[in-house]
Amino acid sequence: MSDFATVLTDQIGDSDVTHDQFITVSRCFFYDFDGYPTRLWDGQGILRTGDGSDWIGTVDSGGNDYHSVPNVDDEREGTSQDYTFSIPHIDETTFEALQSDRSLVNGRNLTCYLAIHQSGEGLRPGSPLRFDYRLEMMGAQFGRSMDLSGGTMTRAYSASVLAKPIGHGRSLVPGGTYTDTSQKLRAQAMGLDGDSGCGYVSSNSTRRIKYP
């Protein structure tokens, strides 16, 4: 059992315990933009985890969470949904880099972890993070807004990330031609010497099968 699960079970107690049990678990989101890893958590302040990472809290003093996260379903039920995550405030350096080179976003992973908080730990959870789900980032839309109030100009950069589960696209029909020549060409395109997987296809096209 992982350390996270051990701590969680200890906090829950035995099955015949009926009094109030408080287990505080918060979500930590890791956007693995290439060269600009962005870590956010749904709380206030900076969360520091045992691997040396700092996670930025997205909740303000009024309790508003500025990081918009959709409900992510379990993809094992057969569909892969589109999920849109919104980061309304992103720093200028990350914004400029990601907007000019979309390959830093597309195909990279967005991972959600769970952090368990025990009393007395403050913002440094002692237990390791537990993996919750992973999505693949399909692309991002970027926005820039300017606010001119009271003589001060404020620029805000935002990003809206579209993500799909890792298993997306698996049910799509391959859409290729099943001939020996095509298969060999496909293998060459992938840098391989050859592929004899379709060598018997032509002899299968008109075949008599005798049932005893």
Partner 1 sequence: MTYTVTVHEWPDVLIPSSQTFKAGGQSIQGGVTAGGTLVSHPEPGGRASLQQKFDIFTSHDENVEASWVMSKILNSSVFRVPIWAYSVQLVRAEDLGASHTMEFPGPIAKGEELLSNDWAFNPRADVTAAALSGTTSVEADLSPWGRILRRGHVIGFYDSDSGYDFAHMVEAVSYDAADTATITVSPPLRRDLTTSSKMKFRPKMMATCSNAREVAGLYSVGRHVQFSQVSWAEALV
Q: Residue numbers of the site for partner 1 (CB under 8 A)?
A: 17-22, 24, 26, 43-48, 57, 61-63, 117, 120-125, 149-150, 152
Closer residue to partner 1, CB minimum distance, 43 or 165: 43
Give min distance, CB of 34 to partner 1, in A. 22
Dihedral, 125, 33, 105, 165 alpha carbons, nearest 10: -30
Number of other CB atoms surrounding residue 18 within 10 Å: 7
Give min distance, CB of 184 to partner 1, in A. 55
Report DSSP state, residue 203.
H
- Helix (H), strand (E) at residue 26: strand 24-31
At 210, is the secondary structure helix, strand, or coil?
coil
Closer residue to partner 1, CB minimum distance, 59 or 162: 59
Closer residue to partner 1, CB minimum distance, 102 or 144: 144
Count of CA atoms in the C-beta half-sphere (13 A) of 132? 17
DSSP string, 6-24: HHHHHHH--TT--S----E
Give min distance, CB of 162 to partner 1, in A. 29
Give min distance, CB of 98 to partner 1, in A. 18
Closer residue to partner 1, CB minimum distance, 82 or 147: 147
* Selection from 116, 166, 92 nearest residue 5 by Cα: 116
Closer residue to partner 1, CB minimum distance, 41 or 83: 41
Give min distance, CB of 159 to partner 1, in A. 18
Q: What six digits make up the tokens of 11? A: 């906090």
